Chains A and B, each alone.
Chain A
Amino acid sequence: MDRLTFATVWLGGCSGCHMSFLDLDEWLVDLADMVEVVYSPIVDRKEYPENVAVCLIEGAVANEDNLEQVKLIRARTRLLVSFGDCAVTGNVTAMRNPLRTAEPVLQRAYLDTANLRPRIPQARGIVPPLLDQVLPVHEVVPVDSFLPGCPPPADRIRTLLQDVIAGKGSLLSGENIRFG
């Protein structure tokens, strides 16, 4: 049997969801027999490939790079999973949204609190500009499945992946959809 092509992506999030993914511990060994990891922050591959069967997408859409990437990922992925609360709701990444623009956040982080050469980093093509409003993934592209939690517990990730691999669908229910 061909292994499913599998990817994980890290957008505007803290990487806690990926840490939780690593908490799958020895089941990762079993998973490696069932899927082929074609793209991930823990895989050395620069460009998101074509024809990905399943992609877990961590983080909200917070900057121009995220925005571009999420559209590419959607176009090249069959089953797109919003992985964790930032992807599903915006969560902590979106807590700056009531300020309406990115400017006050940059001001606070790089000017008000800096004591050595305060300046806002600007390098086109290297540092992606922040979007004024952080968006959950499904507000940008259609999402097939939601895996909430901050982070989603390893068991929850496993439940979803097992269902997907077994062809039992990709929708979680009960305690497995609890936010936070």
Chain B
Amino acid sequence: MPVRTLTIDGKPVSAVEGQTVLDAAQDAGITIPTLCHLDGVSDVGACRLCLVEVTGVSRLLPACVTKVTEGMEVRTESERLKRYRRMILELLFAERNHVCAVCVSNGRCELQNLAVAQGMDHVRFAYRFPPYEVDITHRMFGMDHNRCVLCSRCVRVCWFIEGAATKNVAGRGAGARIITDLSQPWGKSETCTSCGKCVQACPTGAKFHKGSTVAEMERDRSRLEFIVTAREKKQWIV
């Protein structure tokens, strides 16, 4: 495995060829904010929160889908990045109806945590207040489109870990939405195995266990980690 040497925030880091900047940074103990990234499933660069600066490249690059190269100089902190990250979060909050106070994930939400970490004390863009529905047709789970950030984690765990391919993304841009099968009510799905991986993967309150009320939605990521470790390292976590 050829090794590549690069610097991240001035710190020399060695990484294996083919590794992403995000992986290399994590291995070196450097934190880059992420939202659509989920350990164990392929990255898609959907949320843009992991944008970094690379010397010689004028545009910002998403660390989760940028491969390391020899001599690369990466910066994960700058005024420009801070500005962009906060703006991305504000746009996410303005795009749908994220009412933290009455959300199942209040206090345990990755979007809310990112807003705190990035210093977002208010949203400078006009809120869109789009009318979205809540699908509670499934026996065990619910999907609240108001809280969805279109990270597509649920789609990727459904396709690549469970292999059911029930969840998908339909539409374009802000009009995109997560669908079940051919855009049917979740409860009518013939492919859903009710495994709940999508619920464990969701960063916000968009997917939830039915019956959980405000701030009650606890996720158990170890259920995903268990399968991913078994698959990638051929080890069973006991």
Q: A97-B127, A98-B130, A133-B129 are in contact. Are A177 and B119 (CB under 8 A)?
A: yes
Q: Are A146 and B121 in contact (CB under 8 A)?
A: yes
User: Which residues of chain A have C-beta atoms less than 8 A from B99's C-beta?
Assistant: 89, 91-92, 94-95
Closest A residue, CB atoms, query B113: A178
Q: Are A177 and B127 in contact (CB under 8 A)?
A: no
Interface size on A, residues (CB 8 A): 30
Q: Which of A97, A173, A179 contacts B119 (CB 8 A)?
A: A173
Most A-side CB within 10 Å, residue of B106, B107, B126, B129: B129
Q: Which of B101, B119, B126 contacts A180 (CB 8 A)?
A: B101
Q: Which of B97, B112, B120, B122 contacts A136 (CB 8 A)?
A: B122
Asked whether any CB of chain B lies closer than 8 Å to the CB of A12, the reply is: no
Distance, CA A171 to CA B103, complexed state (A): 26
Q: Are A178 and B101 in contact (CB under 8 A)?
A: no
User: Which residues of chain B have C-beta atoms less than 8 A from A98's C-beta?
Assistant: 97, 129-132
Closest B residue, CB atoms, query A98: B131
User: Which residues of chain A have C-beta atoms less than 8 A from B129's C-beta?
Assistant: 94, 97-98, 133
Asked whether any CB of chain B lies closer than 8 Å to the CB of A9, the reply is: no
Q: Are A94 and B127 in contact (CB under 8 A)?
A: yes
Q: A89-B122, A97-B129 are in contact. Are A175 and B116 (CB under 8 A)?
A: yes
Asked whether any CB of chain A lies closer than 8 Å to the CB of B182, the reply is: no
Asked whether any CB of chain B lies closer than 8 Å to the CB of A174, the reply is: yes
Interface size on B, residues (CB 8 A): 25
- CB-CB contacts below 8 Å: B31-63 with A: none
Distance, CA A138 to CA B90, complexed state (A): 14
Instruction: State the Cβ distance, A155 to closest chain B Cβ, in Å.
Output: 16
User: Which residues of chain B have C-beta atoms less than 8 A from A85's C-beta?
Assistant: 100-101
User: Which residues of chain A have C-beta atoms less than 8 A from B123's C-beta?
Assistant: 89, 136
User: Which residues of chain A have C-beta atoms less than 8 A from B238's C-beta?
Assistant: none
User: Which residues of chain A have C-beta atoms less than 8 A from B126's C-beta?
Assistant: 139
Distance, CA A146 to CA B119, complexed state (A): 11
Q: Are B97 and A180 in contact (CB under 8 A)?
A: no
Asked whether any CB of chain A lies closer than 8 Å to the CB of B169, the reply is: no
One digit per residue, 1 when the CB lies within 8 angstroms of any chain A CB and 0 when it does not, for chain B 144-185 equals 000000000000000000000000000000000000000000
Asked whether any CB of chain B lies closer than 8 Å to the CB of A80, the reply is: no
Q: Are B106 and A180 in contact (CB under 8 A)?
A: yes
Q: Are A89 and B112 in contact (CB under 8 A)?
A: no
One digit per residue, 1 when the CB lies within 8 angstroms of any chain A CB and 0 when it does not, for chain B 92-119 equals 0100010111110011000010011001
Q: Are B116 and A138 in contact (CB under 8 A)?
A: no
List B residues at the A interface (Cβ < 8 Å).
93, 97, 99-103, 106-107, 112, 115-116, 119-124, 126-127, 129-132, 215
Task: Sort A-B residue pairs by CB-CB distance and give the 5 closest, nearest first.
Answer: A180-B100, A150-B101, A97-B129, A98-B131, A179-B100
29 contacts between A and B (CB under 8 A): A85-B101, A88-B121, A89-B99, A89-B122, A89-B123, A91-B99, A92-B99, A95-B97, A97-B129, A98-B97, A98-B131, A99-B131, A136-B122, A136-B127, A139-B126, A143-B122, A148-B122, A150-B100, A172-B121, A173-B119, A173-B121, A174-B116, A177-B115, A177-B121, A179-B101, A180-B100, A180-B103, A180-B106, A180-B107
